[in-house]
Amino acid sequence: MLELQHIGKRFGEREILKDISLSVEKGEIVSILGPSGCGKTTLLNLILGLTDITSGKIIYDGEDLSHVPMEKRGFNIVFQDFALFPNLNAYENIVYGLRNRPNASTKAEVEDLIDLLGLRKHLSQRIAELSGGQKQRVAIARTLVMKPRLLLLDEPLSALDGIIKESIKERIRGIARQFKLTTLIVTHDPEEALTLSDRVLIINNGQIAQFADPQTIIREPADDFIRRFILSQLMVKRTNILKLFSESIPKADSTVDAARAVSASAHRAQAAA
């Protein structure tokens, strides 16, 4: 179990995080959601050990890690800017950590991740020759092969397109469940946070606005910020999608019917072309 006790962080005179206290169960997936600049990356860096806390404690399985160096914590991160090794190719980046811990993943598990993340064609490419989404997938693979006891992901899905994003969400969930990997995922997308995780930590002005499961956040938002910035975004999305479907397929009355109708009309359009 990860416990944060009254964590505070200042950069000079600026107070970035104030009195953050929470516990995360082993194997739990928690999303960290909040506006740009609210301190999400800072919080991950504090837990990772890359940045020092100003006050409070970080406890993992009863052990006080507050001032334990990063490499001794057994945590791993997918950085927001990927931080890949530019002098190595994609494959060498993916298996880099296995040099020190060769048993962290089997060969078959590495191959499986490469296929799942759609990286097979890109293995011998240099990092500078990859697109943003490809780099992001290499960064995810490189971290997942190590099966850290705490997995930290900073906006890991932001550069991915729809279908691959959904399959990677599934895989992150699957790996977290299978290996009982405690996972913290930063995102600024409420839909991603509420569909991916067991609980969502909402940060505003450096403080916890709410830490609860998705249903509770939707049914009982703790304050106006959550109502205005998070729930209203989801409602706008919901309204737009429903409007789109109801306008193009007036008679379809269920999602499955709607999807069939869309696919049938696409086939008709193709046949006519």
Ligand X SMILES: Nc1ncnc2c1ncn2[C@@H]1O[C@H](COP(=O)(O)OP(=O)(O)OP(=O)(O)O)[C@@H](O)[C@H]1O
From residue 89 to residue 108, what is the string marking binding to ligand X with x (rule CB under 6 A)? --------------------
Pick from Mg ion, ligand X, none: which does 105 bind, CB < 5 to 8 A by kind?
none
Pick from Mg ion, ligand X, none: which does 38 bind, CB < 5 to 8 A by kind?
ligand X
127, 90 Cβ separation under 8 angstroms: yes
Pick from ligand X, Mg ion, none: which does 11 bind, CB < 5 to 8 A by kind?
ligand X
Pick from ligand X, Mg ion, none: which does 39 bind, CB < 5 to 8 A by kind?
ligand X
Q: In the complex with ligand X, which residue's Cβ is closer, 9 or 142?
A: 9
**DSSP assignment of 205-224, as one string?**
TTEEEEEE-HHHHHHS-SSH
Contact between 204 and ligand X per CB under 6 A: no
Member of 41, 45, 187, 210 binding Mg ion (CB under 5 A): 41
Contact between 40 and ligand X per CB under 6 A: yes
Member of 1, 6, 11, 248 binding ligand X (CB under 6 A): 11
Label the pairing between strands 63-64 and 75-78.
unpaired
Q: How near is the Cβ of 80 to Mg ion at its closest, in Å?
A: 5
Largest Cα separation within the chain, whole Å, is: 67
Give the torsion through C-alpha atoms of 65, 71, 74, 76, to 10 deg: 110
Q: In the complex with ligand X, which residue's Cβ is closer, 37 or 132?
A: 37
Six-digit token string for 140 = 């995810």
CA distances from 75 to 34, 147, 163, 251, 254 (A): 23, 9, 28, 52, 44
User: What's phi and psi for 19, nearest 5 deg?
Assistant: 45, 55
Q: In the complex with ligand X, which residue's Cβ is closer, 171 or 188?
A: 188
Contact between 20 and ligand X per CB under 6 A: no
